[in-house]
Amino acid sequence: MNLPNLLTLLRMALVPVFIVLFYLDLRTWAAVVFIAAAVTDALDGHIARSRNQITNFGKLMDPLADKILTVSAFICLVDTHEIAAWMVVVILAREFAITGLRGVAAAEGVVIAAGMGGKLKTVFQMLAIILLLLGEILFGSAGAAIAAAVLWVAVILTVYSGVEYLWKGRKLLTMK
């Protein structure tokens, strides 16, 4: 097991820690854990590429770890009525659709590389979560408005990147 894959596993292991801290109302600590997990996302990919340690495990588990982390946080925030459930439904629908498309592509021996829209989507989703957790601490009374604006950008990028992936994989979606 190489370092990038260990970082991916660490990100997944931090999810229950985040959830417990969130529900104990230790928001700052939950945010610290979330940020640490998000940093592992940037690190594992960078290390894997720079050291030529890209593995099938990493190709599968890295995006899955990202989805588990962000979706878990969004569900917690819906549960506490801090964000609208429909936004999370849009995010989940995109994730399921693209995961399905990637599965079809893999079965056909096709790799659908992550586009810039997908990368930006992940960054804005994670930034929105951090701002929802720490917005008031960082920006006072403007924190909620800033977090909401970033969340809207994340949702728009989620839809855009979903369309982008579906367009790239449109030939795979034709009925044979």
Q: What is the DSSP letter of 108?
A: T
**Cα 134 from Cα 147, distance rounded (Å):** 9
How do the residues of the chain divide into helix, strand and coil, expressed in percent and rounded to 5? 85, 0, 15
Residue 34: both structure tokens together: 């979330």
Q: Give the pLDDT score at 175.
A: 56
Residue type (1 letter), 124: F
Q: Tens-of-pLDDT digits for all 176 residues of the chain?
A: 889 889 999 999 999 999 999 999 999 999 999 999 999 988 988 888 888 888 777 777 888 898 899 999 999 999 999 999 999 999 999 989 988 888 787 777 777 777 788 889 999 999 999 999 999 898 999 999 999 999 999 999 999 999 988 888 888 777 55
Boundaries of domain holding 127: 3-173
**Cα 18 from Cα 150, distance rounded (Å):** 21
**Cα 129 from Cα 33, distance rounded (Å):** 12
Which of these, 39, 37, 49, 35, lies nearest to 12 by C-alpha position?
37
Looking at the structure of the chain, the number of domains it has is 1
Task: Say what angle helices 85-107 and 56-79 make with each other, to 10 degrees.
Answer: 160
Residue type (1 letter), 55: T
Q: Give the pLDDT score at 106.
A: 76
pTM value is 0.89
Which CATH number characterizes residue 49's domain? 1.20.120.1760
Which of these, 41, 175, 15, 40, lies nearest to 114 by C-alpha position?
41
